Amino acid sequence: MTRLRIKVRGRVQGVGFRPFVFNLARSLNLRGCVRNTSGGVVIEIAGQRAGDFIERLRKEHPARSVIESIESEPVTGAEGIPERGPEGFRIADSEDDGGTTPVVPDLSICDECLSELLDPSNRRHLHPFINCTDCGPRYSITTGLPYDRRNTTMAGFRMCNECGREYRDPEDRRFHAQANACHCCGPRLWFHTVNRSFRQYDSGDPVTSAVKVLKAGGIVALKGLGGFHIACDAEDPDAVALLRKRKQRPRKPFAVMAPDVDTVRRFCLVTEDDAGLMLSHRRPIVLLKKRPGCRLPEEVAPGVDLLGFMLPYTPLHYLLFYHPSGKPNFRCLVMTSGNLPGEPILHDNGTAVEGLSDIADAFLLHDREIFTRVDDSVVRADFVIRRSRGYVPDAIPLGETGPAVLGVGADLKNTFTLTRENLAIPSQHIGDMENLETMQFFEETLDKLTSLYRVRPVALAYDAHPGYHTTRWAEAQSLEGISVQHHHAHVASVMAEAGLKADVIGIALDGSGYGSDGTIWGSEFLVAGLRGFERLCSFRSLPLPGGETAIREPWRIAAAWIREAAGGDALQYMEKTGFLERYGEERINEVLQVAALREFTPRSSGAGRLFDAVAAIIGITGTNTYEAEAATALESRIVEGVSEYYPFETRPTEPMTVDFSAALAALLEDIASPIPAPVVSARFHNTVVTAVTDVAKRLHRLTGIRDVVISGGVFQNLYIRQRVVGRLTAAGLRVHCNRLMPPNDANISLGQAYILREMLKQ
């Protein structure tokens, strides 16, 4: 007879681990107990087949669990292990042992729960909160550790007899399912109209009422898993246009939800990998190329050839689509975050009804509280663009252990990152730090994650930009801190993901970041390590007449750039290419006058500005109503199969500069010819790819370094990303890019934390 105490660490709570252990122990005739502790799961067993037990634990653990380590030690005495008894093996009370265990991200509804949901003979038929040990809310409802019902927002719901029986029955798939609920005892859903003309659709059944409002072209705000969504029928152009008007969101694409992959395929091209991602329990929004002749109204995603699609992930989502006839109520619904412009997603009934009453005609509300808000995640091909629901709070392994630190991130697309032992724990998407609400969301999430993971950071890192809100916040803390240059942090984020420590060739292309010389950078070629970097090359800066205004209206940058590159021939070029007519001679002259005044015309080497300017010159769009709009539209216009590129010069300055003046002249000639815009767009993209790969190869020859890191928002551009990776790999270099973290400023916090952590180790 062997007696063992086994400690299992990893993602072992909220994934059906204890029930699995229970059944395994019983099948092997072992006596003992299993308990959740704040540090993992502790199992005590006694019996002949203890060795088999550990082996099968390793091999057969539940699909959603991740085992990091199994430690076992022999136990003397009978402590905790009953000698005999009818049960022999039991689930013991949870214990707080001071350790921590990863909290599980929210999981989409599983197939079994879905079939019960739609089965008229099941007692949970059409129950909007059905879930089990394999599925349902986790991170968003967890208030503390260990993961038990009392540490979730389900604590206030008393299970009915039937639910309680399932919860206690080891043979049941809801054995210890902490969010277990049914029609009798679970959260309630209700319908609330704020627009009188939709009151007629209130049928008594909340889902039916909401469906009727949507069918009538109305807008419904619904409380979801991580916050509110605002929905309308995506195939109804008037409804989508109305939503745009009310949300004050002229052009930024809306995400769309469709009932299944086949429906998505009617509108978009879906690879097998895309389908797998959409069906995974993370259920992100996946960016897909529109099918030629896509029949969805242009208003859903104007001016771009990508659509963000996701599948339903809560029972309530499925109920909105479900019709007993088998034909879904809708083919697709717009599902956009329920927030006010620039503010974080709303998550409680009171503030949502107050805040969204001017946008929504009706509300679908419920009384299961969202403790932590998490937006939908966004994925493109094999990398994330927004890392939130379904991903957070998963940790990123950092190899060896190190001190606990905090990277506070950047001001745009903010996330923060905590480190603890050998892990980095990035927060969900927080947003743009331009208002008090977002700053509060930052602080509230920091409180929650530090307490869930029991991290006490010993130092913090922040961006070198003195004007960032995050910088000012960091400076007001009592913790010691360091500032990290923006593009150095971008590069370090990839080093963290790839486990690199030695110097790399770091290429960071983005919109803007504060440079070490006080100017705005954004097309940086660095030789970087974790202790510092050297800036060896960048693109020649472009003039921004009027500063911020020029970023919102990049045609102004274009005008000043044409003047700078073409000199006295500028107006002639503008005329030949239609630029003069498009933006108006008078306005252009005003801009050129401003451009001549240094104090009103800062310069920026941000690569984003280059894309913006070219989009304006080609005539795709001269304004940005949301970040990277012009650049996204420019990428959308590329025609495949073009290999030519425009000439550019690399000047031996300190640091080297890549000057695209010659490219601009050739591009203007093309437009005047006229060469079609999609070909010009492709040639321009090829020019950037060629410049980037040329410089990288040059730096490799100069330094002998083989590891090339690419980061920054420009690498969300799939055309550029794939070609840069392909060509540098073909040249024998090892290319690393962000995959787990977005290429955009969301990765800054990870880079900051990684740099600071290494610094403290030395």
What is the Cα–Cα distance from 687 to 643, expressed in whole angstroms?
A: 10
Q: Output the smallest distance, CB 284 to Zn ion, in A.
A: 19
Give, as ranges, the residues between 23 and 42 that touch Zn ion (CB under 5 A). none
- 314 or 749, CB closer to Fe ion? 749
Give, as ranges, the residues between 54 and 113 that touch Zn ion (CB under 5 A). 110, 113
- 113 or 667, CB closer to Zn ion? 113
> Dihedral of the CA atoms 219, 223, 227, 232 (nearest 10)?
-20
Beta bridge partners, 420, equal 423
Q: Binding partner of residue 163 among Zn ion, Fe ion, none, CB under 5 to 8 Å per kind?
A: Zn ion
Q: Output the smallest distance, CB 67 to Zn ion, in A.
A: 21
Q: Binding partner of residue 110 among Fe ion, Zn ion, none, CB under 5 to 8 Å per kind?
A: Zn ion
Q: Output the smallest distance, CB 467 to Fe ion, in A.
A: 15
Q: Output the smallest distance, CB 703 to Fe ion, in A.
A: 24
How many CA atoms are closer than 13 Å to the CA of 640, on its beta-carbon side? 2
- 177 or 733, CB closer to Zn ion? 177
Q: Binding partner of residue 745 among Fe ion, Zn ion, none, CB under 5 to 8 Å per kind?
A: Fe ion
Residue 135 interacts with Zn ion (CB under 5 A)? yes
Q: Output the smallest distance, CB 283 to Zn ion, in A.
A: 14
Non-local CB neighbours of 490 within 8 Å, separated by 6+ positions: 506, 508, 510, 513, 711, 712, 747, 748, 751
What is the Cα–Cα distance from 268 to 706, expressed in whole angstroms?
A: 38
Residue 132 interacts with Zn ion (CB under 5 A)? yes
Q: Output the smallest distance, CB 464 to Fe ion, in A.
A: 12
Size of the site for Zn ion (CB under 5 A): 10
Give, as ranges, the residues between 670 and 689 that touch Zn ion (CB under 5 A). none
Token digits for 451? 């307490």
Helix (H, G, I), strand (E, B) or coil at 257: strand
Token digits for 134? 């394999």
Work out whether strand 649-651 and strand 40-47 pair parallel, antiparallel, or are unpaired: unpaired
- 314 or 541, CB closer to Zn ion? 314
Query: Whose CA is closest to 133, among 165, 96, 172?
Result: 172
Q: Output the smallest distance, CB 393 to Zn ion, in A.
A: 21
DSSP per-residue letters across 13-28? SSSSHHHHHHHHHHHT
Beta bridge partners, 4, equal 45, 74
Fill in the per-residue mask, 163 to 192: x = in contact with Zn ion (CB under 5 A), - = not in contact: x------------------x-xx-------
- 163 or 570, CB closer to Zn ion? 163
Q: Binding partner of residue 362 among Fe ion, Zn ion, none, CB under 5 to 8 Å per kind?
A: none
What is the Cα–Cα distance from 89 to 686, expressed in whole angstroms?
A: 66
What is the Cα–Cα distance from 635 to 620, expressed in whole angstroms?
A: 10
Q: Which residue is nearest to Fe ion (CB)?
A: 510
Window contacting Zn ion (CB under 5 A); options: 78-86, 158-166, 238-246, 605-613: 158-166
Q: Binding partner of residue 287 among Zn ion, Fe ion, none, CB under 5 to 8 Å per kind?
A: none
| Chain-centroid distance, C-alpha 707 | 26
What is the Cα–Cα distance from 541 to 365, expressed in whole angstroms?
A: 51
Q: Where are the alpha helices (DSSP H) in 476-569?
A: 486-498, 548-552, 555-566
- 166 or 510, CB closer to Fe ion? 510
Residue 160 interacts with Zn ion (CB under 5 A)? yes
- 513 or 751, CB closer to Fe ion? 513
Q: Are 233 and 330 in contact (CB under 8 A)?
A: yes
Q: Output the smallest distance, CB 124 to Zn ion, in A.
A: 9
Non-local CB neighbours of 297 within 8 Å, separated by 6+ positions: 234, 235, 236, 237, 240
Q: Output the smallest distance, CB 132 to Zn ion, in A.
A: 3
Residue type, 532: G
Q: Are 258 and 231 in contact (CB under 8 A)?
A: no
Q: Binding partner of residue 365 among Zn ion, Fe ion, none, CB under 5 to 8 Å per kind?
A: none
| Rg of the chain on CA atoms, in Å | 28
Q: Binding partner of residue 707 among Fe ion, Zn ion, none, CB under 5 to 8 Å per kind?
A: none
Q: Output the smallest distance, CB 178 to Zn ion, in A.
A: 13
List of residues contacting Fe ion (CB under 5 A):
510, 513, 745
Q: Are 500 and 486 in contact (CB under 8 A)?
A: no
Window contacting Zn ion (CB under 5 A); options: 54-62, 82-90, 126-134, 217-225: 126-134
What is the Cα–Cα distance from 430 to 45, expressed in whole angstroms?
A: 44
Q: Binding partner of residue 699 among Fe ion, Zn ion, none, CB under 5 to 8 Å per kind?
A: none
- 140 or 716, CB closer to Fe ion? 716
DSSP per-residue letters across 641-690? T-------EEE--SSEEEE-HHHHHHHHHHHHTTPPHHHHHHHHHHHHHH
- 318 or 684, CB closer to Zn ion? 318
Q: Binding partner of residue 113 among Zn ion, Fe ion, none, CB under 5 to 8 Å per kind?
A: Zn ion
- 152 or 621, CB closer to Zn ion? 152
Query: Whose CA is closest to 383, among 632, 740, 110, 46?
Result: 740
Give the residues lining the site for Zn ion (CB under 5 A): 110, 113, 132, 134-135, 160, 163, 182, 184-185
